[in-house]
Structure 1
Amino acid sequence: MASMDIFNSDAFHTVSLTTALEKIPYKPQFLNELNIFEPVPTNTRSIAIEKRDGFMQLIPTSQIGAPPTQLQDDKRDIRNFSTRRWAKSFTLYAEQINGIRQFGTETELMQVQAEAARRLSRLKDDFDLTAEYARLGALQGKWLDSDGSVLIDWFAEWGITPNTDVAFAFSSSSINVNDLCKKIARGMARAAKGGFTSSTSVHALVGDSFFDALVKHPSVELTYQNWQAAEGLRATQATVFDAFYFGGIYFHNYRGTDDKSTVAIGDNAAVFFPVGVRDLFQTAYGPAEFDPWINTFGQEQYALTIPDRDRNAWTKFEIYSYPLFICSRPEVLYTGTAS
């Protein structure tokens, strides 16, 4: 019969547990699958971020023998930001494993491992959901805490005024949706300067009502019908409600949490962002505050066990993460509203 001594085995040591945590199947999340947030492991929880405004200049003609025009240095701004701490735990009590016995080819250790893994998987789902929420905020130039409070406003940090919200008056049949899309894409490209390359694409996460109004608009409807008829073009169908390319923009009907509030896009809202702009979105990971991870490069998540040393009545499992979700160029971001 299993006892609390089972948690003294190598399978439940902190390093082994953290490695096992990384093997838990990842719950699919659209923003994670877009792969636009570059992971940046660091060995400190204080991160220096440099914003450099590079620009190009025309070179004036000059007389032979005249001194060349001096290259002007880029404007640079370096700020320090700190990673934040996410932590959550559960407790496995002795009475909860009291009835576990060896069964068939499964040892008691294997069965307790399975129960611990099941609960760890639930914790990991919460961490993954929180990361998706943070990424969604970063696409809007902010890092938000779980209660909606602003941890970092990247517009304010860099002294940038957010772009004016673009009105999509779908109720009017006379508006040219393609022109609105081109306006956003061109403004984004100009703001990104040299960061916008031939491989860069523009994407939008939109709410249900926005998407429905978009594809039903007279200037869009025929294109959407042709898009639907073409097989194999909508590769993201499995992770979003629907997707559609129009006016140089990939529109994704974003599916957040089923309550449409915890992680969600407003029904009539749209968030526009580029994919393929170098270093635009990053996630820095600081090291854990415990041995054996002090002064090591950060990992996405850490797991450890805390035994009840007084009564041996329980073992606590804890997961920690020390992320910083970065938007280095919020001036390229746009929002829209359907009406």
Structure 2
Amino acid sequence: MPSLDIFNDDAFSMASLTRAINEQPHVPGMIGAHGLFTEEGVTTTAVTVEKDGDTLALVAAGERGSVAANVAGSKRKLVTFNTIHLPQRATILADEIQNVRAFGSETDLETIQNVVNKRLAKMRRNLDATVEFQRIGAIKGALLDSDGVTELVDIYDTFGLTQDSVGMALGTDGTNVRGKVITAVRTSEDALGNTTATGYRAYCGDAFFDAFIDHPKVKAAYERWLEGEFLRNDPRAGFLFGGVFWVNYRGKVGSTKFVGDDDAYLVPEGVPDLFATHYAPADYVEAANTIGLPYYSKQEAKEMGKGVLLEAQSNPISLCTRPKAIIKLTKV
């Protein structure tokens, strides 16, 4: 009787599984969906960043022994950030595969591949959520671990910068909210210098967003817009006020929300290379010194052929190259 060897079949090699996990339908978070971050693979496990004033720039890798790029001026500083290794493992037992085979068949590859793909899809969703969490951390200035507390990278502290913030005083009815918004935008523009943003977007925590849309000055601005449609409908998907597009950000790790309830972050859009996610190669022999991919997957047989161990991983680092241009907004 013909038999399918799932442990040696090319359809389950690292290359095939990596291609499968990268081809799965992507379900991005809000930051990923808005396309703020450029993505690029690197051949190393670390990314070097140069600080020139308040601007950070990625430094290109060079061949060993070649002439290095000249770095002039005492105010420049080189710092290396290690990419963050995000591995996941799962076990698929032989009995689990047996239960999903077509009845009476040992040669139906599709049913076995379906089991693997379903597990890869779950791993992919976990990795997507983690990369999204890392990207919102880059916006906020600190990348945190999955517990939402442990700090992995503090961009401001590393480069000796402080975060600019604007208190919106949303608890006071007479606050000139539009004036506060313009102040925040001007602060960001000052940090950008000669670089011009095409627009601004604010990612708001729940309490901040509720206080913002309920403020008398904001409500008054929309009373007559489309006969009060804004005041009747759910505005969480976003709306324009003071030249800024305001959205209610959703996302959390455990009980820790990606954006604090009482906070918001003003982000310039259309600024070249403002945000970047770099992916390092996986820690597999086959991937060493190759250009990193967003996702990898590999499998190996369990002892005595009882099942298969499946691993998926990503090795990203997300950074903001002009952290002073990101303005933290507070409800008070």
Which TM-score band applies after superposition, normalised by the shorter structure? 0.7 to 0.9
Corresponding residue for 2:63?
none
Do 2:54 and 2:324's aligned partners in 1 also have CA atoms closer than 8 Å?
Answer: no
Corresponding residue for 2:44?
44
The number of residue pairs the alignment matches comes to 312
Do 2:265 and 2:327's aligned partners in 1 also have CA atoms closer than 8 Å?
Answer: yes
Corresponding residue for 2:269?
275
- Aligned-residue offset at 1:73: 6.1
Corresponding residue for 1:68?
none
Judging changes above 3 Å, is the alpha-carbon distance between structure 1 residues 326 and 293 closer, same or farther for their aligned structure 2 residues?
same
Query: Structure 1: 5+ residue runs without aligned partners?
Result: 56-71
Corresponding residue for 2:294?
300
Corresponding residue for 1:325?
318
- Aligned-residue offset at 1:103: 5.7
Letter in structure 1 aligned against 2:261: D
More deviation, 124-133/286-295: 286-295
SS in 2 for 1:289: coil
Letter in structure 2 aligned against 1:305: Q
Cα-to-partner distance string for 1:27-47 (whole Å, 9 max, x where unaligned): 131100111111121111121
Corresponding residue for 1:34?
34
Corresponding residue for 1:287?
281
Q: How does 1:1-339 map to 2 (within 5 A)?
A: 5-53=5-53, 75-102=75-102, 108-147=108-147, 148-163=149-164, 165-197=165-197, 199=198, 201-225=199-223, 241-257=236-252, 261-308=255-302, 310-339=303-332
More deviation, 127-136/212-221: 212-221
Cα-to-partner distance string for 1:41-78 (whole Å, 9 max, x where unaligned): 111112111223499xxxxxxxxxxxxxxxx9694322
- Aligned-residue offset at 1:196: 2.5
Judging changes above 3 Å, is the alpha-carbon distance between structure 1 residues 262 and 12 closer, same or farther for their aligned structure 2 residues?
farther
With normalisation by structure 1, the TM-score equals 0.83
Judging changes above 3 Å, is the alpha-carbon distance between structure 1 residues 47 and 171 closer, same or farther for their aligned structure 2 residues?
closer
CA distance in 2, matches of 1:227, 1:263: 32
Do 1:83 and 1:324's aligned partners in 2 also have CA atoms closer than 8 Å?
Answer: yes
Cα-to-partner distance string for 1:202-239 (whole Å, 9 max, x where unaligned): 211112222222122121113234557699x9xxx9xx
Judging changes above 3 Å, is the alpha-carbon distance between structure 1 residues 74 and 313 closer, same or farther for their aligned structure 2 residues?
same
More deviation, 45-54/132-141: 45-54
Corresponding residue for 2:58?
none
Letter in structure 1 aligned against 2:127: F
RMSD: 2.9
Do 1:285 and 1:298's aligned partners in 2 also have CA atoms closer than 8 Å?
Answer: yes
Letter in structure 2 aligned against 1:328: T
Do 1:302 and 1:320's aligned partners in 2 also have CA atoms closer than 8 Å?
Answer: yes
SS in 2 for 1:48: strand
Do 2:54 and 2:161's aligned partners in 1 also have CA atoms closer than 8 Å?
Answer: no
CA distance in 1, matches of 2:295, 2:271: 26
Letter in structure 2 aligned against 1:254: Y
CA distance in 1, matches of 2:254, 2:223: 27
Letter in structure 1 aligned against 2:145: D
- Aligned-residue offset at 1:149: 1.1
Cα-to-partner distance string for 1:215-267 (whole Å, 9 max, x where unaligned): 22121113234557699x9xxx9xx932111112111111224x883443222
Rg (Cα) greater in structure: 1
CA distance in 2, matches of 1:39, 1:168: 33
More deviation, 46-55/22-31: 46-55
CA distance in 2, matches of 1:136, 1:117: 28
Judging changes above 3 Å, is the alpha-carbon distance between structure 1 residues 6 and 176 closer, same or farther for their aligned structure 2 residues?
same
Judging changes above 3 Å, is the alpha-carbon distance between structure 1 residues 227 and 293 closer, same or farther for their aligned structure 2 residues?
farther
